[in-house]
């Protein structure tokens, strides 16, 4: 008689024993060996194929070439695809700064050209100090800002660095984009999101001041003013060795028509810094503005600011505003930042000054850690052989939600406005457009 004929005989263990959660304690010895519906991995969770599919870790680089300083920041960005739907997009769940280079003075060959060889050494040293190779880089941004962008070889340098810096590094520049990156990197966007506040971020660099209003963690509007801390530079004897056109204009408006090679009296430098501080406050707070101040805007001026719950400062001059830096680098940064802080303490701003976040590293952190997104599972590409691979392709996401009814004219207006925000001219270069989508992808909606 076989085991199956004997009701008292022990039968082999099988998958049916798990159907109702029965017989959880068992072995795989002898005739009890069997398979499981969902085989458990003996390795760590991070090696499980299902876990890997929903979790992505990227190494990103942010290279900020500013009017006064150049710096490189490497970060690790962890993304996760939430929920059960495999077509859902990846969300950033954590960011980790891997390495921050020292802030080096941006090297110039002349008033018209950046020293590309010296700049290359700064970038190479950063990679070496971080013990990373361009092949290790998944994403990132090279951004030229302020007066550095004005140099004749600026864009060529950005493109070379983009090719050198890693497979997917994008060369970008522009006042609106820098204002946005600074607001993210400084912590203003996070504070706005966490506290439900409407925050004005004032990022004061060497050549320009970038303004961004952040509401509930989202950038509402941006602008830039031609005021910065390194538009005028003196040597040890107080002789002017660098004088950008904007620096000459600011000094002239303050009553000191400086020229390159002039000796700048310390008291005169103090008065120019005081005028710059007054001018920036007027540019932000006063409407209508005097023509001399309105002339300083590099973009459309900020419209009615509306309700502002607080102001946060960033950029190199922001270090002086928060009194976290006291050294003098032969420019107007220390004098300008100190003059601005005295006015803030005296109530010149009608809003409270918020605690500091990142200052001099705000733009670089924004570029490295807040400029990356990853697509989901379902993508359609009409001609992959012709269209891929595409490198250094900038992605724009206009603030337009594709609802049930899509009005083409409104969509076009949103796209044009976003081109302006990122300092792009339609048709000059290829870009990718991304949109938030709700509802079914019907032909009528897609064709709109």
Domain identity same for 159 and 263: no
Domain identity same for 122 and 173: yes
Domain presence at residue 183: no
For residue 432, the enclosing domain spans: 393-447
Domain edge (last residue) among 129, 145, 177? 177
Domain identity same for 350 and 202: yes
Instruction: Categorise residue 7: left if φ over 0, alpha if ψ from -120 to 50, beta otherwise.
Output: alpha
Domain presence at residue 416: yes
Please count the residues of the chain.
448
Domain identity same for 325 and 209: yes
Burial 286-300 (b: 16+ CB within 10 A, else e): eeebeeebeebbbbe
Domain presence at residue 370: no
Domain edge (last residue) among 357, 384, 406? 357
pTM: 0.73
Tokens of 123: 């970038």
- Residues 6 or more apart from 18 whose CB is under 8 A from it? 36, 37
Domain presence at residue 376: no
- Total number of domains in the chain: 4
Alpha carbon distance 1, 322 (integer Å): 91
- In degrees and rounded to multiples of 5, residue 433 shows phi and psi of -105, 135
Domain identity same for 264 and 119: no
Domain identity same for 134 and 199: no
Domain identity same for 408 and 330: no
In this prediction, residue 88 carries a pLDDT of: 60
Tokens of 282: 């007027």
Domain identity same for 325 and 416: no
The β-bridge partners of 79 are 56, 92
In this prediction, residue 369 carries a pLDDT of: 62
Domain identity same for 18 and 92: no
Alpha carbon distance 401, 435 (integer Å): 7
Domain presence at residue 372: no
In this prediction, residue 20 carries a pLDDT of: 44
In this prediction, residue 7 carries a pLDDT of: 44
In this prediction, residue 141 carries a pLDDT of: 78
Q: Helix, strand, or coil here: 164?
A: helix
Alpha carbon distance 46, 210 (integer Å): 41
In this prediction, residue 129 carries a pLDDT of: 96
Report the CATH number at residue 336. Answer: 3.30.420.40
Domain identity same for 237 and 296: yes
Domain identity same for 302 and 352: yes
Tokens of 141: 């941004």
Domain presence at residue 380: no
Domain presence at residue 368: no
Domain identity same for 172 and 292: no
Ordered mean pLDDT values, 10 residues apiece, the chain (448 residues): 48 45 51 54 57 75 84 88 60 85 88 84 93 86 71 72 62 77 92 95 94 94 94 95 93 95 96 98 93 92 89 95 95 97 96 90 72 61 74 72 76 84 76 73 65
Domain presence at residue 5: yes
């Amino acid at each position: 008689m076989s085991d199956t004929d004997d009701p008292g005989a022990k039968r082999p263990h099988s998958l049916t024993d798990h159907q109702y959660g029965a017989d959880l304690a068992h072995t795989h010895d002898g005739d009890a060996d069997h398979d499981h519906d969902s085989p458990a991995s003996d390795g760590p969770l991070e090696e499980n194929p299902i876990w890997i599919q929903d979790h992505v870790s990227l190494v990103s680089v942010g290279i900020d070439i500013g009017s006064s300083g150049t710096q490189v920041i490497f970060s690790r960005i962890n993304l996760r695809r939430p929920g059960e739907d495999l077509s859902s997009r990846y969300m950033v769940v954590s960011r980790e700064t891997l390495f921050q280079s020292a802030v080096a003075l941006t090297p110039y060959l002349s008033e018209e050209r950046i020293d590309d060889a010296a700049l290359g050494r700064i970038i190479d040293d950063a990679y070496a100090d971080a013990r990373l190779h361009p092949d290790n880089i998944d994403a990132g941004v090279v951004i030229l800002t302020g007066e550095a962008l004005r140099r004749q070889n600026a864009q060529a340098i950005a493109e070379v660095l983009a090719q050198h810096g890693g497979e997917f590094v994008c060369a970008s520049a522009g006042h609106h984009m820098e204002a946005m990156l600074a607001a993210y990197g400084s912590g203003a966007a996070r504070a706005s999101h966490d506290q439900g506040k409407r925050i004005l971020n004032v990022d004061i660099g060497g050549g320009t001041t970038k303004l961004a209003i952040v509401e509930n963690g989202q950038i509402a509007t941006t602008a830039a003013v031609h005021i910065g801390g390194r538009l005028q530079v003196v040597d040890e004897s107080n002789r002017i060795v660098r004088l950008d056109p904007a620096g000459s204009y600011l000094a002239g408006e303050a009553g000191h028509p400086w020229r390159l090679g002039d000796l700048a009296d310390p008291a005169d430098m103090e008065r120019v810094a005081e005028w710059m501080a007054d001018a920036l406050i007027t540019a932000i707070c006063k409407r209508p503005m005097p023509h001399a101040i309105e002339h300083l805007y590099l973009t459309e001026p900020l419209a009615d600011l509306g309700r502002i719950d607080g102001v946060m400062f960033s950029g190199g001059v922001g270090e002086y505003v928060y009194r976290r830096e006291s050294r003098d680098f032969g420019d107007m940064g220390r004098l300008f930042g100190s003059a601005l802080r005295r006015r803030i303490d005296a109530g010149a701003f009608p809003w409270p000054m918020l605690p500091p976040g990142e200052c001099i590293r705000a733009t670089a952190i924004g570029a490295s850690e807040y400029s990356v997104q990853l697509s989901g599972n379902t993508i359609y590409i009409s001609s992959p052989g012709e269209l891929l691979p595409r490198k250094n392709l900038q992605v724009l996401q206009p603030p337009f939600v594709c609802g049930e009814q899509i009005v083409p004219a409104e969509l076009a207006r949103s796209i044009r406005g976003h081109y302006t925000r990122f300092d792009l001219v339609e048709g000059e270069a290829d870009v990718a457009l991304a949109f938030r989508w709700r509802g079914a992808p019907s032909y009528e909606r897609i064709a709109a």
